[in-house]
């Protein structure tokens, strides 16, 4: 079976506080985009679970979220691990704040479930996904959604009007645990207007959503990295983006465009910055 694993963007991301279990309570509006990994799953007639990717540095064992998802799925069905080969063609940048690994895990859950005579519901799959990673429950369904808690409490939202998206992942990566550890001591400049975003989605107002996008993790970035993300966002706005923000814990910055020509110009401008640049659309 071949299945696509779409990347996600955070249209907004707010951190509400630290929980007794050590995690943070989040409130964020999530959006799927067409940039995707492709996963091929094939039963191999052995008892081995094997994962391969086109990137040599990614784990091929249980440290890969795709393998973890398969193991948790079989466990939930009361079965022993089965012989399975998973090949992942990675297109989503790694360590970029776009849920590439979580999306791969969710894709494995959907694929294995589709092979069943009596498949589980989407909600049951999302529950299994909670054991794999905080973004996996959202990635099971995708689309436009409000995510709360660690990310596992989901409410579907009216879809974001289809638009072009230009993304740039700079040539550095961000430590997610380090940024979460730092966010509690950072003075936040502002918080995203999530209620305004929800109202704009209800009205089908793309520009209204775009101009309210904000991610509090931008305030926790080291100074040089924050300046780099800011430069990317400014370039996107100068090229006609309706709004620009950072996704997840970064460092990928993105802009939403209602004009394909402006989006193409932005991609060309950002190609001069280095890093990885993509032009895609929302789904």
Active site members: 8, 135
**Other Cβ atoms within 10 Å of 133 Cβ, number:** 23
Helix (H, G, I), strand (E, B) or coil at 271: helix
CB 28 within 8 A of CB 69: no
Can you tell me the distance from the alpha carbon of 159 to that of 199, in angstroms, rounded to the nearest whole number?
12
Please work out, in degrees rounded to the nearest 5, the angle formed at the alpha carbon of residue 278 by the alpha carbons of 273 and 280: 150
Buried b (16+ CB within 10 A) or exposed e, 192-217: bbbeebbebbeeebbebbbbbbbbbb
Mention every residue, 6+ apart, whose C-beta is less than 8 A from residue 116: 77
279 token code pair: 């032009």
Q: What is the DSSP letter of 93?
A: P
SS3 content of the chain, % helix, strand, coil (to 5): 35, 30, 35
């Amino acid at each position: 079976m071949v299945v696509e694993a779409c990347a996600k963007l955070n249209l907004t991301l707010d951190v509400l506080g630290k929980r007794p279990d050590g995690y943070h309570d989040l409130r964020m509006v999530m959006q799927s985009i067409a940039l995707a990994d492709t996963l091929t799953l094939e039963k191999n007639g052995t008892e081995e679970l094997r994962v391969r990717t086109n990137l040599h540095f990614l784990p091929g064992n249980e440290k890969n979220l795709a393998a973890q998802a398969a193991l948790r799925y079989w466990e939930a069905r009361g079965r022993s691990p089965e012989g399975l080969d998973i090949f992942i063609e990675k297109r989503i940048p790694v360590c970029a704040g776009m849920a590439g690994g979580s999306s791969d895990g969710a894709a494995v859950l959907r694929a294995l479930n589709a092979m069943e005579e009596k498949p589980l519901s989407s909600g049951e799959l999302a529950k299994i996904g909670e054991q794999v990673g905080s973004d996996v429950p959202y990635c099971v369904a995708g689309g436009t959604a409000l995510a709360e808690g660690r990310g596992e409490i989901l409410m579907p939202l009216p879809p974001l009007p289809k638009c072009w998206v230009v993304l740039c992942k700079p040539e550095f990566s961000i430590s997610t645990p380090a940024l979460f550890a730092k966010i509690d001591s950072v003075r936040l400049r502002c918080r995203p207007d999530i209620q305004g975003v929800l109202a704009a989605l209800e009205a089908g107002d793309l520009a209204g959503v775009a101009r309210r996008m904000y991610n509090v993790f931008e305030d926790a970035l080291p100074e040089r990295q924050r300046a780099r993300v800011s430069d990317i966002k400014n370039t996107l706005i100068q090229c006609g983006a309706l709004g620009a923000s950072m996704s997840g814990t970064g460092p990928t910055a993105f802009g939403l465009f209602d004009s394909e020509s402006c989006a193409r110009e932005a991609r060309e401008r950002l190609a001069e910055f280095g890093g990885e640049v993509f032009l895609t659309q929302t789904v």
